[in-house]
Amino acid sequence: MEKFYLTTAIDYVNGAPHIGHAYEKILTDIIARHYTQRCDDVFFLTGTDEHGIKIQKTAAEKGITPKELCDENAQKFKDAWKALDVDYTKFIRTTDEEHEKIVQQIFNKLLEQGDIYKHSYEGLYCTGCECFLNPKDLTEDGLCPDHRKKPEVVSEENYFFKLTKYKDAIIKYIKEHPDFIVPEFRANEVINQLEDIQDISVSRAKSNVQWGIDVLGDEEQSIYVWIDALSNYITALGYDTENPSETFKKYWPADVQVIGKDILKFHSIYWPAFLMALNLPLPKHILAHGWITIDESKMSKSLGNVISPTSVLESFNLEHPDAFRYYMATSAPCGRDGNYSDEDFKEKVNAHLANSMGNLLNRTLSMLVKYFDGEVKPEFKGENPLAKKALGTVQIVKNHFDNFEIAEAGLEITSLVDAANKYVQDTAPWTLAKEEKMTECGQVLVNVLDVMCIIASLIYPYCPNIARDMARQLSFDLSTKLDDLTADNIKYGKLISKEDIKPVFLRLDSELADKSAKKS
């Protein structure tokens, strides 16, 4: 694997980031980190979508310019991703000068080759969706099914993109590439939407929407959201219609584009059509994740249950975001909806990260110090009954990631931890020490610690800080590629002293955790 390029949807900066935004970014960051363990060149793009009527209206209400609102809110997204250890390569903003210039280039190219034409139109426009809706897509009450609001009747002369021209080619592509849309069950939904697809508006009259990218040569029109927003995935790499950059040539097509299921239509129909019109290859995979509900209820401002991701870190006094990352990433099977609740969060991370994984490392190292002064002797190395499962888990985890089954991969890692815990219970090294079977006792402890190195490597994408703490105590090189992992990781000699053994994750309800939080 020479390179791996992945993207998230760009977030609309009309408000602050919430837990749904965080879910997508954490998933993508975990995929990116996993592939750094298999590939030397990973490019991870995220960013913000900053044009349109909602920005224009909100800025006017606040008495500031649209750009000032974008600057303020884009920074909130950057701050949130920093707090969650989302380690992107590039953060693009659609108000970036270079992006705007290339979008105008793309628009002109499509106009010149006849893929864009001007047309008078009257239709039902949903501001929330940023698109025109078909009457049959509305609820019985005539509302947008996603935003529960009545669309407004808009009559304008706009530029339209010939989406219908690419309908058959897109259907053919989806059918010939069953792994293009992940999970696969969403492909039929897209093909059904394609059956009665119409050409789409790609500009708005400036009399209605001033805050957008100008259509060159037509001062009355602004380039409308989808050509602007979707093009970020290539403009960020330096795409140019005449002379694409070496970066673009190197990374495009994207290996996976991670989006929410609510914008699948735009990414699996509009985006492929734009790319086909530009004669560019399509992304290898579109991963459409589900939504995150709060206490089994859909997030909404009216219910007052919109949660900021950083507020979870603050309310649980978490020094680093690993517990939240792990919980969110394992909250739902691939493409399905997940749920967040404070109680479930506490129970799950205590069980998996503190009681199971953290405690296993802590007590094994403590026994090594107690019985052998923290020293690993040559005779402690022998056949490891856990090795086969551990190395098999590495392959299973890789396979899950190849199918973007992030939650499923996390559960495999937990299963390996459970197997190591069972091995300790079955072999009872404390009993072996009591019976003075010291070589056998040392072998058991080193067998477990060898596997803990593999666990540290596998859990790293989910919990980078915990993994680093584990690796430090095990003297294990966390930069080891997954394909280079073996079941022989612990070196001979002094491994650790009593004062260097630290819990890698404290139970959220423990007295120590509370004290630690208060100190920080």
Using DSSP's 3-state secondary structure scheme, residue 162 falls into: coil
Place of tokens 């500031």: 64
Residue 223 pLDDT > 90: yes
pLDDT attached to residue 519: 39
Q: Which helix (H) or strand (E) holds 337?
A: none
Contact 233, 2 (CB under 8 A): no
Q: Give residue 515's pLDDT band: very low, low, confident or very high (50, 70, 90).
A: very low
Question: Catalytic: which of 18, 34, 265, 289?
Answer: 18
Q: How many residues does the chain have?
A: 520
Q: Does 39 qualify as catalytic in the annotation?
A: no
Task: State the CB neighbour count (10 A cutoff) for residue 457.
Answer: 26
Question: Catalytic: which of 298, 370, 422, 481?
Answer: 298
pLDDT attached to residue 305: 64
pLDDT attached to residue 513: 45
Which residues lie below 8 Å from residue 26, measured CB to CB, with a gap of 6+?
84, 86, 324, 325, 328, 329
Residue 129 pLDDT > 80: no
Residue 391 CB burial class (10 angstroms; 0-12, 13-18, ≥19): middle
Adjacent-strand bridge partners of 286: 181, 257
Q: Does 129 qualify as catalytic in the annotation?
A: yes
Residue 132 pLDDT > 90: no
Q: Where are the domains of the chain?
A: 342-519
Q: Does 289 qualify as catalytic in the annotation?
A: no
Adjacent-strand bridge partners of 90: 45
13-60 pLDDT, tens digit per residue, is 998 999 999 999 999 999 999 999 999 999 999 999 999 999 999 999
Fold category of 342-519 in CATH = Isoleucyl-tRNA Synthetase; Domain 1 (1.10.730)
Question: Catalytic: which of 25, 51, 99, 126?
Answer: 126
State the average pLDDT over residues 450-469: 98
Q: Which helix (H) or strand (E) holds 340?
A: strand 338-340
Model-level pTM?
0.93
Question: Catalytic: which of 90, 101, 147, 177?
Answer: 147
Q: For 85, phi and psi rounded to 5 degrees? A: 55, 40
Q: Does 298 qualify as catalytic in the annotation?
A: yes
236-245 pLDDT, tens digit per residue, is 999 999 999 9
Question: Catalytic: which of 51, 78, 129, 320?
Answer: 129
Using DSSP's 3-state secondary structure scheme, residue 112 falls into: helix
pLDDT attached to residue 520: 35
Place of tokens 């959201």: 225
Characterise 475 by phi-psi region: left (phi > 0), alpha (psi -120 to 50), beta (else): left
Residue 361 pLDDT > 50: yes
Contact 174, 180 (CB under 8 A): yes
Spatial distance between the Cα atoms of 445 and 438, rounded to a whole number of angstroms: 11
Structure tokens at 31: 């995929």
Question: Catalytic: which of 136, 301, 518, 519?
Answer: 301
292-340 pLDDT, tens digit per residue, is 988 877 766 655 667 888 999 999 999 999 999 999 999 999 999 999 9
Q: Does 267 qualify as catalytic in the annotation?
A: no
Q: Does 21 qualify as catalytic in the annotation?
A: yes
Q: Does 70 qualify as catalytic in the annotation?
A: no
Spatial distance between the Cα atoms of 433 and 360, rounded to a whole number of angstroms: 18
| Strands annotated E in 50-192 | 90-93, 116-126, 131-133, 152-161, 181-182
Q: Does 441 qualify as catalytic in the annotation?
A: no
Place of tokens 């992940």: 182
Question: Catalytic: which of 70, 131, 144, 334?
Answer: 144
pLDDT attached to residue 300: 63
pLDDT attached to residue 516: 43
Q: Give residue 514's pLDDT band: very low, low, confident or very high (50, 70, 90).
A: very low
69-121 pLDDT, tens digit per residue, is 999 999 999 999 999 999 999 999 999 999 999 999 999 999 999 999 998 87
Contact 67, 29 (CB under 8 A): no
Mean of per-residue pLDDT scores for the chain: 93
Residue 465 pLDDT > 60: yes
162-205 pLDDT, tens digit per residue, is 999 999 999 999 999 999 999 999 999 999 999 989 999 999 99
